[in-house]
Every structure is written in structure tokens, then in C-alpha cells.
């Protein structure tokens, strides 16, 4: 019987193989031939990517999505996984109790604060290595939307308020990542700068602001790094859902910018399948079987053309051809997490920003004993929430970081917080259970501890300095609030800062605040009370070590702000048009009624401030800020000199000598801004055109940095003629340490105006 079965089976296999031989095979035959040989059902299945259940016991079970296999054409499944701060592998190896982890890298905002594309390439390469070594094909990152307003819940995943910095950082990350053989997905295309009502909100933006700000970042990334994939966003844009817009996904992205990869939809968006396929989404993600059916029916009833299906199928097959899965790459499942932890730590230290350092409060000295206050010192955030959270092996908090660096902390303070947190955790145990709500919005965090003045007074006697850590977290689906405990300090935090400062200052001792936050927060209202402020962002799993590297001066801070920190939230132009006090209702989110959709900032958001985002507003209109764009201190000083400009037909090369004029080695992030001659359009006083970071300069050492840009980069977008225009005349090129700290200027004469018409208008 067995023999007969065997004979039957081999017969079936041989005849299937013989049949397959006649069919075109991926990699051997032209893609067009395969698409022509596929049935409509097969093509419709190819265009719907499936979400994998996360309760499986293999690595692939933690993929956020897959593409379907077609054995008869030699097409394997491919696997996509989140996200921006590391590969979200989260599983146990079958047959063992060994859990797999990925490295928790610093969040994007910190990475942008490095102003160093080499750091981004190194982080990208390490992530890319984990991606392919765990058996995935594509990372669902980086994310590069503009940080229009500090309250956007996803700002930590995004780089900057400036499109050039965002675009260049993304391009470097993509290059590093893709150098390892897997692919990157840049997301969320486009104008996804708000989370409230995230699947329905219509971002209403002028053509000029779109071109100069909200699309420019994507344009740079697409052209400079050729990402494998672009994720279309949840929101609408000027009246049309981005996923339903052929203008955005085909005319602009492919025809104008030359994108050649695949477009994947953001997960589970409640929009029409047929319209989305037509618009240019190649893969319906977070896909469901009903969508396959909808594609088949669409073709049969004429609402969807076969040409659209074939076009998208070709894109998907072209993508599969380059994947490690297709190339049968043998994943080791054992990437070098130790080496990557080092990459993470070094990147973190490069991006931490020293905001204030009065009377050399920092670096700490050998003799110091630190009173380490604040729940945040012990309950430290490596990264943000939602799909950008990572399953990292550990998180070094502040106390561990300081101890690892041999900094003496006061045992009574440490003991107090450890006991306080243990008691708090017992209380919070019942709310902090793993469920979808906590996954999105995070576990409830312990309140700041109340510390009596006499306790602080004792510590001021036997410690030489105080360090206080304030932590914040946020994530997708929810925006932050301009309220206590979020953008503002809680009463407990304020009191802690005030009381510690008063009591330590009475003894002539310094107080330093470390901010552990994914994005901007109010600093101006309390900054004067303390001597030092360190913006640590969310610095990844090695965070405490990286902060200690900065506090001790092992690493001289060289991070600079990728956004403006305002004095007051309402100084920010977009604060007039950003949701506030919208309490989350699940029902409203999934099924918003007419009433909700008619509400400003929920149903739609007016980008009324237009191009005047961040420093473009503050710097041009001379509005005071807490800390300007591009700002960051060092333990040394730098001199700028000998600025030169070399102009060729289409580009400009600016060089400048940077000398370390201080006493310790350090690096400087140098920025190049342009000021245009007066013309028809009102333009920002300064716009970032290029930047560079020096190597580590020893005291007295000089280096020449080079910054290059194209003459066409000087253009602004004139929507009345749908053209990029750079007027002839004299431009000022300002080289500075921040947008407000200009060290040298050069003149650039443009003899002829440049005008370049664009074909696509993103408007309905």
C-alpha cells in the first residue's frame, strides 16, 4: 500500500514539475511572461499581503505582513516587519525556551540630532543585518513625516521639522539598511503629521507647502536612496485619501520622481480596494481575503482594469526578485547583537543634545557623588510605543548607566526610588496587563515620588550634584496633549525641580535635568532654575550608558536640535490648527460620524501656517524661542573661518575651516542656510541647504568641511505657475552653528532665473 501511495505521490510531483517546467519561472523568464501566465485569481492574491498572527511560534509569525507564494511560478513568500527603532522580532525559537530579541536603537529624532549621515548609515546597516539574519525581506521603516507640531504622537518616529534634514537622514538610513540585502519602506506617504482621527483626517495643504515641506523630504529620499518600498498613509490630503490618489502614488511618485519599487498601504485602512489598486498601491497591507475577491470582482464587472492589476503585479514580482527570500538566503537567526548594541550606544551619544551648561555644571568630575532623583532615572524609555516599539533584550536606565561609568550615586536615594517603584508596580499591576490598548498607549507609569525637603537637604549635604530625569512616552493612534504630565511638567515634577534646585543651590551645588522624551516638551518655564539640561531623547536600549558617556565627558556632546523648542506651545503657528483635548474613543476612531468629520482638526486640519513651519516661522519673524533649530552645546568651543564658495554650472560647493579652540576633543555640526533676494514670493529668512559634521577634532586642530547643494535647491514653489522658481540675483549663504548663530557668510550671484514646471497638482 505504502509503495502504491509513494508511486502515486511521485507521479503527482513529477507531473506537477513537468507542468511547472512549461510555465515561466521567476528569475528565469521575463516578469511580463509570468504575469501573462497567471490567472486573475493568482494576480489578485499576489496583490494582497497578509497580516501574520503574532501568536505563532516562529520568527515569521512576528512579521507584520507577507506576500503570497506561487510555487508553480517559483515565487516564494516574502516577509515585512516593523519598524523605525529596530526589527520587531518577538518570538521563541521552536523547541526551546530561547527568546529572540532585536537591538533597540535610538529613535529617529535622536538620530536626526546627530546631523551625521554616517551614523544613520551605520544604524541602518545594523538594522539591515538583523532584518536579513532573522529571515525577513523588508523593514517597515524609516518614517520621515514632518514634525509640524510637537504634539504629534509619532514625532519620535520622525526626524525633523525640516524637509532637507529629514530627507537626507532617511536616505542615509535606507542606504545603510539596503546595503545588507533587504529593503526599506519609507512611510507614511504623505503629510501624516497628526494622529488624531488618523484614518480619516484630511490634511489641507497648499501646493507650495506640500512641495517645499511635506513632499520635499520624500522626494529627496526617493531620488537619493531608491527605497524598495513606500507606504501610503492613513490620512487624506486635500480632499482625497492618499491611498486613493493616482496623482500622488503614480503621477508624482513614479512619473515625476522615478520611483521603481512597490507601494504598500498602511495596515488595515478602511478604504475601497479597487480604487486603491487603481491609484497605484501594489500591495494591500494588513490584507484580508475579501480584498482578493474584490479585485477579482472589480475586473469582472469592469470597475478595475486588467492593465492596473498587471501593472501592480509586475511591480510586486520585480520586488520579490531582489529579496533574500527569493535568493534563498540562509538566515543565521543569530545576528551580532553585541556589536549592534555598541552601534546603538555610539549613535545615541552622538545625538544627545546639551541644551544648557552654566558654570561648567557638566561634565561630572571623578570626585562627584550624584543624588539621582526622578522616577525617570529608574523607569527609563528606550523608544516609543506602537509598531515602533521593539523587543529589545534590556534597557540600561540612568542608575545603571552611571554605575557602569563608575559614577558614585547616593545609595539612600537609589534605595528610596527602588522601593517606591516596586510599591507602585504592585499597585499598577492590574492596569498594566498586555492588551491592545496598552500596546498602543503604553503602560500606566508611576507618578513622580514626593520627596520631602529634609531628605533633599541631607542629600545636598552629602552629594556634590543632583541629576533629575524627566521621562515622557507617546505612540501611534494618539496625539499628545499640551497638559501636565505630557508636554508640560506635572506638579510633582515641577516641585521636585524647584525644591532640589533651591536646596542644592543654597549649598552652591549644581542641578542637572536629563530629559528622556521622544519629542519636544516645555522647558522654558523651568529652565532658569537649573544649571544643566541634557536632551537625551529616547536613546535606545543602551540609553543610560550613552547619557553617562555625555555626563562624564567620555563623549563630548555634539548633537544639535532637529526642531525648534518654543517658549510656549501657543507660539507655534500650527497650534491654532492642531487637535487638543480630544479624548480617545475607539468607536469614533473606527466609525466617525458626520459631526466628527465636520470638526476642524479632527475631520480636517488646515495647514494654515503654510510653509512657515518651525524655524522658518520663528527665525524669519524674529520670534524668541527657548532653543533654536540646529542648537546644541559642547564641552569645547569652535572657530569658523576661511569660508569659500566654488560654483559650477549647476551646483555649489561651500568649504569652511573649523578649529577646535577649546580644551577637549569634540565634533561640530555645521549648517548652511540660504537667503534669497527679494522676489514675488515671500521666503523664509533662512532655509537649510546643506550640513556636515566634523571628525573628532583635538584641541587646536582644524579641519575643512565641505557642503554641496544644487542651484535648483534654491528654488521655491510658485503655485500660480506650478513651477519651482529660483530668481536671479544675489543669495546670501550663511554658515552657522544653529539657525540663529551665523558664523560666516558668502554671496552667490545667480545670473539667470531657474524655472522648472511640474506636471502634478495634488488637489481636488
Least distance (Å) between residue 264 CB and ligand BGC: 9
Q: Which residues of 66-98 are buried (b: 16+ CB within 10 A; e: fewer)?
A: bbbbbebbbbbbbbbbbbbbbbbbbbeeeeeee
The residue among 153 and 376 lying less far from ligand BGC, judged by its C-beta, is 153
The residue among 123 and 388 lying less far from ligand BGC, judged by its C-beta, is 388
Which cell numbers in the block locate residue 390?
A: 521593539
Contact residues for ligand BGC, defined by CB under 6 A: 64, 82-83, 140, 187, 266-267, 387, 476
Active site annotation includes 568:
no
Least distance (Å) between residue 196 CB and ligand BGC: 14
**Bridge pairing between strands 236-237 and 240-241:** antiparallel
Least distance (Å) between residue 232 CB and ligand BGC: 11
The residue among 185 and 634 lying less far from ligand BGC, judged by its C-beta, is 185
**Bridge pairing between strands 687-693 and 716-718:** unpaired
**Bridge pairing between strands 465-471 and 510-516:** parallel
The residue among 294 and 476 lying less far from ligand BGC, judged by its C-beta, is 476
Query: 162, 266, 368, 522: which is the annotated catalytic residue?
Result: 266
How far, in Å, CA of 121 to CA of 119, rounded?
5
Cell 545667480 identifies what position? 750
- Tell me the H-state helices in 160-302: 163-178, 207-209, 216-225, 246, 273-279, 289-301
The residue among 82 and 129 lying less far from ligand BGC, judged by its C-beta, is 82
Which cell numbers in the block locate residue 323?
A: 529579496
Say whether 146 sits in a helix, a strand or coil.
coil
Least distance (Å) between residue 410 CB and ligand BGC: 42
Q: What is the maximal distance between C-alpha atoms in the chain?
A: 94
The residue among 244 and 476 lying less far from ligand BGC, judged by its C-beta, is 476
Least distance (Å) between residue 476 CB and ligand BGC: 5
Say whether 566 sits in a helix, a strand or coil.
coil
Please provide residue 241's backbone torsions phi and psi, each rounded to the nearest 5 degrees.
Answer: -65, 135
Least distance (Å) between residue 233 CB and ligand BGC: 8
- CB distance 171 to 221 below 8 Å: yes
How far, in Å, CA of 258 to CA of 260, rounded?
6
Contacts of 564 (CB under 8 A, 6+ apart): 161, 614, 615, 618, 625, 627, 628, 629
Radius of gyration of the chain, Cα coordinates, nearest whole angstrom: 27
Q: Which residues of 448-460 are buried (b: 16+ CB within 10 A; e: fewer)?
A: bbebeeebbebbb
The residue among 154 and 168 lying less far from ligand BGC, judged by its C-beta, is 154
Least distance (Å) between residue 186 CB and ligand BGC: 11
How far, in Å, CA of 88 to CA of 387, rounded?
8
Active-site amino acid positions: 266
Amino acid at each position: 500500500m505504502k509503495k502504491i501511495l509513494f508511486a502515486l505521490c511521485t507521479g503527482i510531483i513529477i507531473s506537477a514539475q513537468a507542468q511547472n517546467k512549461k510555465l515561466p519561472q521567476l528569475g528565469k523568464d521575463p516578469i511580463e511572461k509570468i504575469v501573462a501566465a497567471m490567472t486573475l485569481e493568482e494576480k489578485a492574491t499576489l496583490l494582497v499581503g497578509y497580516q501574520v498572527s503574532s501568536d505563532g511560534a516562529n520568527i515569521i509569525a512576528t512579521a507584520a505582513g507577507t506576500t503570497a507564494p506561487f510555487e508553480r511560478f517559483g515565487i516564494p513568500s516574502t516577509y515585512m516587519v516593523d519598524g523605525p527603532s529596530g526589527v520587531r522580532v518577538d518570538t521563541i525559537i521552536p523547541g526551546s525556551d530561547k527568546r529572540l530579541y532585536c537591538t533597540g536603537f535610538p529613535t529617529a529624532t535622536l538620530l536626526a540630532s546627530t546631523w551625521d549621515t554616517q551614523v544613520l548609515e551605520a544604524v541602518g546597516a545594523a538594522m539591515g543585518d538583523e532584518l536579513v539574519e532573522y529571515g525577513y525581506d523588508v523593514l517597515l521603516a524609516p518614517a520621515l513625516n514632518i514634525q509640524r507640531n510637537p504634539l504629534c504622537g509619532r514625532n519620535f518616529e520622525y526626524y525633523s521639522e525640516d524637509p532637507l534634514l529629514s530627507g537626507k537622514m532617511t536616505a542615509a538610513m535606507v542606504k545603510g539598511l539596503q546595503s545588507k540585502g533587504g529593503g526599506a519602506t519609507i512611510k507614511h506617504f504623505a503629510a501624516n503629521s497628526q494622529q488624531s482621527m488618523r484614518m480619516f483626517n484630511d490634511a489641507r495643504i497648499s501646493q507650495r507647502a506640500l512641495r517645499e515641506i511635506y513632499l520635499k523630504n520624500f522626494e529627496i529620499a526617493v531620488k537619493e536612496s531608491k527605497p524598495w518600498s513606500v507606504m501610503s498613509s492613513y490620512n487624506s490630503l486635500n480632499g482625497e485619501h492618499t491611498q486613493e490618489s493616482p496623482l500622488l502614488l503614480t503621477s508624482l511618485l513614479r512619473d515625476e520622481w522615478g520611483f521603481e519599487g512597490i507601494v504598500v498601504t498602511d495596515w488595515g485602512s478602511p478604504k475601497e480596494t479597487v480604487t486603491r489598486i487603481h491609484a497605484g498601491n501594489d500591495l494591500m497591507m494588513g490584507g484580508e481575503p475579501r480584498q482578493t475577491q474584490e479585485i477579482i470582482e472589480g475586473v469582472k464587472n469592469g470597475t478595475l482594469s486588467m492593465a492596473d492589476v498587471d501593472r501592480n503585479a509586475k511591480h510586486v514580482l520585480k520586488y520579490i526578485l531582489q529579496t533574500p527570500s527569493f535568493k534563498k538566503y540562509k538566515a543565521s537567526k543569530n545576528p551580532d547583537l553585541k556589536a549592534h548594541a555598541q552601534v546603538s550606544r555610539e549613535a545615541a551619544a552622538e545625538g544627545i543634545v546639551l541644551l544648557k551648561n552654566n558654570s561648567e555644571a557638566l561634565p561630572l568630575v571623578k570626585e562627584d557623588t550624584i543624588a539621582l532623583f526622578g522616577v525617570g532615572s529608574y523607569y527609563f524609555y528606550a523608544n516609543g510605543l506602537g509598531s515602533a516599539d521593539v523587543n529589545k533584550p534590556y534597557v540600561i536606565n540612568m542608575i545603571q548607566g552611571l554605575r557602569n561609568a563608575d559614577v558614585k550615586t547616593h545609595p539612600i536615594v537609589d534605595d528610596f526610588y527602588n522601593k517606591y517603584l516596586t510599591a507602585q508596580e504592585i499597585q499598577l499591576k492590574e492596569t498594566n496587563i498586555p492588551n491592545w490598548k496598552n500596546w498602543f498607549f503604553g503602560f500606566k507609569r508611576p507618578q513622580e515620588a514626593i520627596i520631602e525637603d529634609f531628605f533633599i537637604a541631607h542629600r545636598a549635604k552629602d552629594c556634590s550634584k543632583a541629576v533629575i530625569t524627566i521621562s515622557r512616552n507617546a505612540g501611534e493612534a494618539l496625539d499628545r496633549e499640551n497638559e501636565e504630565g505630557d508636554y508640560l511638567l506635572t506638579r510633582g515634577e515641577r516641585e521636585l525641580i524647584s525644591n532640589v534646585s533651591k536646596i542644592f543651590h543654597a549649598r552652591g551645588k549644581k542641578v542637572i535635568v536629563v530629559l528622556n522624551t521622544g519629542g519636544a516638551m516645555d522647558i522654558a518655564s523651568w529652565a532658569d532654575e537649573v544649571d544643566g539640561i541634557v536632551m537625551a531623547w529616547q536613546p535606545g536600549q543602551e540609553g543610560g550608558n550613552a547619557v553617562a558617556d555625555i555626563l562624564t565627558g567620555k563623549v563630548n556632546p555634539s548633537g544639535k536640535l532637529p526642531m525648534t523648542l518654543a517658549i510656549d506651545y501657543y507660539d507655534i503657528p500650527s497650534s491654532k490648527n492642531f487637535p487638543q483635548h480630544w479624548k480617545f474613543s475607539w468607536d469614533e476612531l473606527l466609525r466617525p460620524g458626520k459631526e466628527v468629520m465636520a470638526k476642524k482638526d479632527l475631520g480636517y486640519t488646515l495647514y494654515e501656517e503654510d510653509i512657515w513651519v518651525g524655524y522658518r516661522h520663528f527665525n524669519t519673524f524674529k520670534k524668541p524661542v527657548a532653543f533654536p533649530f540646529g542648537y546644541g552645546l559642547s564641552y569645547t568651543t569652535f572657530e569658523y573661518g576661511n569660508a569659500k564658495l566654488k560654483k559650477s554650472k549647476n551646483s555649489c560647493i561651500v568649504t569652511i575651516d573649523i578649529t577646535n579652540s577649546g580644551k577637549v576633543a569634540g565634533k561640530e555640526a555645521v549648517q548652511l542656510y540660504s537667503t534669497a533676494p527679494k522676489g514675488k514670493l515671500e521666503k523664509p529668512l533662512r532655509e537649510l541647504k546643506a550640513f556636515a559634521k566634523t571628525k573628532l577634532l583635538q584641541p587646536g586642530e582644524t579641519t575643512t568641511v565641505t557642503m554641496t547643494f544644487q542651484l535648483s535647491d534654491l528654488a521655491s514653489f510658485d503655485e500660480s505657475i506650478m513651477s519651482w522658481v529660483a530668481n536671479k540675483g544675489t543669495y546670501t549663504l550663511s554658515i552657522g552653528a544653529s539657525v540663529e548663530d551665523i558664523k560666516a557668510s558668502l554671496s552667490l550671484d545667480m545670473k539667470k532665473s531657474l524655472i522648472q514646471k511640474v506636471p502634478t497638482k495634488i488637489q481636488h
